[in-house]
Structure 1
């Protein structure tokens, strides 16, 4: 999806309007704490599949006695839950509005728009693993291409590591591995939690974002070396190379969804 922006919107929008082919619209208001964390506006009780211990990510440090529900799952219930009856290939028009009233409007498959809600759930909900990735997404508009997203993330992490692409790559690979586990377990929650969505818009939104992350992991070496040259970091002394350890070895996403 190529954004048709009407000004540079912030990545973490306050409102999202999705217009469907039949003219109907879904309005999603995103409430936040002063820190920027998403506050799910829940009507009724949390769904059973949001329970913290149900399909909990192996690396999640949250204690059940203090946090009864998975922050990412609860966020998804209040946002992506509105897309339960829709298919992933529906061509929609989506407009994101940030806190300053700036907008960005795009048109494309619903799963691409849904992926921005998955980003919200994973990176801005209070998920302790996902929030580590949030700084890499700063200064991005809500809707970007996979290439723009990858280049932006690599640029951010290279700057953090003073241009040493080997250590930057190692950090990125570890983070992508953890994110992959989150996507897998969110999918397991949806499919095995007793309330599977009627259509495929929600699961395919998760799968779409996971595919973007896995593609970045596969292209990490080449992209880091390319961006190191483009940004002038290649003039720094080289350090000993270390194997990425992930590359193309991530398991097939849907192949890991067995209960």
Structure 2
């Protein structure tokens, strides 16, 4: 399947430009060639290691997620999170441009880096990384995450596994991601004196906390979108419960 490329172009204050040319293994959906030559101490696996991390220092001396954040953290050192910038993103399918803040631009890129970093907890978001949607709103994120998870259940069902239509597993995934976000924020407080990287993680964590709540409320916020399906279902005879 070859390589997938996504490019981020940041036009910073005073016209300075930072370009991130990201290459992914198109089948594994993992970043390639993004590791720094020298790993900072804050990338060590045992430095603020996530309590739910399944990795060990013997096999992974450095946290793969932290290692993939080094470049963006170092290149944005000193920038204030609320500074206005322009971000241009180029994928194989489209070109997106956005006037935004440093923290929002970093948050969009960091979400992509984290999902494809090799972190076991973030791996569930690889399908969303494949169809990357920069600057997604809260409603778009809910729709994308639940759709992704339910499509995974379809494939599991086709393979003879039990499908989780109650989204219990999705809540568990996001609960684990919340733990990861807290630990990553602790690493970043050591890595940089600027607030932009930490605030970028906080923005991601806002969505992380919100989605389990929306699931608990039976996705009522987006239920109205599916009214035509309910109308069609009403025309069909009701199925009797299986005994």
Could you say which TM-score interval applies, normalised by the shorter chain?
0.7 to 0.9
The residue that corresponds to 1:130 in the other structure is 122
1:205 correspondence with 2:203: no
After superposition, the C-alpha distances for 1:22-56 in whole angstroms (9 at most, x for unaligned) are 21111112133343311353454101000011111
Question: How many angstroms does 1:20 deviate by?
Answer: 1.7
Question: How many angstroms does 1:104 deviate by?
Answer: 1.2
Runs (5+) with no aligned partner, structure 1: 1-11, 240-259
* Paired residues for 1:63-142 under 5 Å: 63-98=56-91, 100=92, 102-136=94-128, 138-142=130-134
Q: Cα distance 1:126–1:139, how it changes in 2: closer, same or farther (>3 A)?
A: same
Q: Cα distance 1:222–1:25, how it changes in 2: closer, same or farther (>3 A)?
A: same
The residue that corresponds to 1:22 in the other structure is 14
Measure the CA separation in 2 of the matches of 1:123 and 1:138.
10
1:59 correspondence with 2:59: no
SS at match of 2:217: helix
Measure the CA separation in 1 of the matches of 2:14 and 2:143.
36
The residue that corresponds to 1:45 in the other structure is 38
**Structure number with bigger Rg:** 2
Question: How many angstroms does 1:140 deviate by?
Answer: 4.0
* Paired residues for 1:146-157 under 5 Å: 146-157=138-149
TM-score (norm 1): 0.75
Measure the CA separation in 1 of the matches of 2:164 and 2:22.
37
Measure the CA separation in 2 of the matches of 1:66 and 1:228.
48
Question: How many angstroms does 1:129 deviate by?
Answer: 0.9
Q: Cα distance 1:166–1:43, how it changes in 2: closer, same or farther (>3 A)?
A: closer
Kept in 1, the 8 Å contact 2:174–2:208? The answer is yes
Measure the CA separation in 2 of the matches of 1:108 and 1:53.
35
Deviation larger for 36-45 or 143-152: 36-45
Q: Which has the higher contact order (CA 8 A, sep 6+)?
A: 1
Kept in 2, the 8 Å contact 1:89–1:110? The answer is yes
Kept in 2, the 8 Å contact 1:76–1:117? The answer is no
The residue that corresponds to 1:176 in the other structure is 174
The answer to which structure has the higher helix fraction is: 2
Measure the CA separation in 2 of the matches of 1:129 and 1:150.
18
Runs (5+) with no aligned partner, structure 2: 155-161
